[in-house]
Amino acid sequence: MTLFDDASKAAIYSPDFLHILKGYPSASKYLISLLDSNSALHWVDRISSTDYASYLPNDLLVKVDIASMAHSLELRSPFLDHKFVEFSARLSPELKLKGTTTKYILKRALRKILPQDVLNRKKMGFGVPLNHWFRGPLQDFARETLLSEKSLNRNYFQPEHVRRLLTEHFKGKRDHAYKIWNLLVLEIWHQVYVDGQTPATQPSGI
């Protein structure tokens, strides 16, 4: 859940920005603090509780709410009904994770309702092919946006490090797609909400 670890941040931040952020906890430290403050005895329950306090309200539910409200939909997450959550919290951890089988009791409960290929298929997220996009239709857009004079003059990041991230990714040496995405979203946010500009039109073909 951390794309830029502490070492990566120390490398990419400008000296001035690094000084301002000195001592500010990283996302990984925040998650570890949630994990350590949890009183559950089993590690499965501790991790679940940490997700309830962080990943769920600060990531997944936010995305779902934005996407649904953009289309005037009122959405509910049935597995987050408070009675269901309370019931599942009381279950033995072995019923949730049995060996390498996740959602064990849920799959057992639905085995006569859903086809086996649905119950046992690999998890399918909602990821997009950023790796491909940043080596194809979004390559010029990412380069021109992140290496623009305005972006570099914000003095958050060291220009040579941003250039290296882009170059390594474009040439297929490393996969920095999600790091580039984070930097791109931050810069576009600045353009819209700090500079008051209309963001550049994204390229077609994606």
Lowest mean pLDDT, pick from 45-59, 74-88, 118-132, 179-193:
118-132
**Number of residues that make up the chain:** 206
Q: H helices of the chain, where?
A: 6-12, 15-20, 27-37, 43-53, 55, 61-69, 82-90, 93-96, 104-109, 116-119, 130-133, 139-146, 149-152, 159-170, 177-193
* % of the chain beyond a pLDDT of 90: 69
Residue 34 CA to residue 37 CA, distance in Å, equals 5
Residue 22 CA to residue 5 CA, distance in Å, equals 14
pTM for this model (two decimals): 0.78
pLDDT in tens, 76-92: 999 999 999 999 999 99
> What pLDDT does 40 receive?
87
Q: Is 122 left (phi over 0), alpha (psi -120 to 50) or beta?
A: beta
* % of the chain beyond a pLDDT of 70: 96
Residue 50 CA to residue 3 CA, distance in Å, equals 18
CB atoms within 10 A of CB 180: 26
Q: Using an 8 Å Cβ cutoff, are 200 and 152 in contact?
A: no
Say whether pLDDT at 8 is over 70.
Answer: yes
Q: Tokens in use for 111? A: 């085995």
Return the DSSP state at 59: I
Say whether pLDDT at 21 is over 90.
Answer: no
